[in-house]
């Protein structure tokens, strides 16, 4: 009977032991789960750091690249402004040449034209060339002043049967402007081309 009396005690002890084992297993399992979750959290944090660093580098490089492009564009714009200013100054220099120096251009170029007759028109804004000067430089040629109104600013336009000639220092500059700009650009933009 002592065994029967001890039975509840044994059941209680066995239950307590089983409870301890379950508690220990639960503690071990929960520790493993917590450790696994810590590792997972650390991996997520490390992955997030890597992604954040990558995104930061990409955004930073893009921003630097954009800033460099804006800076290059500003420099290019300033250089183009310089080129335009140089061309304006050249035009001003031509417009302000002394009358005789300016007329030398026309004398020199008139000799190269093979004309026997024709009509001429003087540019609307032309102040250094007049009717008598044109007739003087084309003396042996039968030239008459055209009745047509000039559609250009500077120089002289000569219409000969089958030919049209324009003598204008500024027109020549305009005609050669691309070559002049090419030379100026090549000199100004050397470092961009190398």
pLDDT tens-digit series, residues 74-110 = 888 887 888 788 888 888 888 888 999 999 988 888 8
Distance CA 44, CA 47 (A): 5
pLDDT at 116: 83
Q: Residue 193: pLDDT above 60?
A: no
Edge-to-edge strand ranges of the sheet holding 163-167:
142-145, 117-122, 156-160, 163-167
pLDDT in tens, 109-137: 888 888 888 899 999 988 899 989 998 99
pLDDT at 192: 59
Q: Residue 6: pLDDT above 60?
A: yes
Both tokens of 86, joined, read 């140089």
Domain coordinates of the chain in residue numbers? 1-96, 98-183
Residue 156's pLDDT band, with cuts at 50, 70 and 90, is: very high
Token pair 């100026």: residue? 184
CB count in 10 Å sphere of residue 158: 22
CATH superfamily to which 98-183 belongs = ATP synthase, E subunit, C-terminal (3.30.2320.30)
Distance CA 122, CA 182 (A): 31
Q: Residue 175 in contact with residue 147, Cβ under 8 Å?
A: no
Distance CA 102, CA 169 (A): 8
pLDDT at 1: 54
CA distance readout (Å), 123 to 57, 144, 157, 158: 62, 15, 8, 11
Both tokens of 30, joined, read 């929960």
pLDDT in tens, 7-65: 677 777 777 888 888 888 888 888 888 888 888 888 888 888 888 888 888 888 888 98
Residue 2's pLDDT band, with cuts at 50, 70 and 90, is: low
Angle at 96 between CA 95 and CA 100, to 5 degrees: 100
Q: Residue 152 in contact with residue 124, Cβ under 8 Å?
A: yes
156 three-state secondary structure:
strand
pLDDT at 122: 92
Residue 176's pLDDT band, with cuts at 50, 70 and 90, is: confident
Q: pTM of this prediction?
A: 0.53
């Amino acid at each position: 009977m002592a065994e029967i009396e001890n039975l509840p005690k044994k059941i209680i002890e066995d239950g307590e032991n089983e409870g301890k084992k379950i508690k220990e297993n639960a503690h071990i399992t929960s520790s493993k789960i917590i450790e696994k979750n810590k590792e997972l959290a650390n991996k997520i944090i490390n992955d997030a750091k890597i992604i954040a660093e990558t995104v930061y580098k990409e955004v930073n490089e893009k921003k630097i690249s954009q800033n460099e492009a804006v800076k290059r564009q500003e420099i290019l714009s300033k250089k183009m402004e310089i080129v335009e200013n140089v061309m304006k100054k050249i035009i001003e220099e031509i417009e302000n040449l002394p009358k005789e120096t300016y007329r030398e251009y026309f004398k020199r170029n008139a000799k190269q034209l093979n004309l026997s007759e024709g009509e001429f028109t003087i540019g609307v804004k032309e102040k250094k060339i007049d009717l008598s000067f044109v007739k003087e430089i084309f003396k042996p040629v039968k030239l008459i002043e055209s009745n047509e109104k000039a559609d250009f600013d500077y120089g002289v336009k000569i219409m000969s049967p089958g030919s049209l000639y324009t003598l204008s220092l500024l027109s020549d500059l305009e005609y050669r402007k691309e070559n002049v700009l090419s030379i100026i650009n090549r000199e100004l933009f050397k470092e961009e081309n190398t």
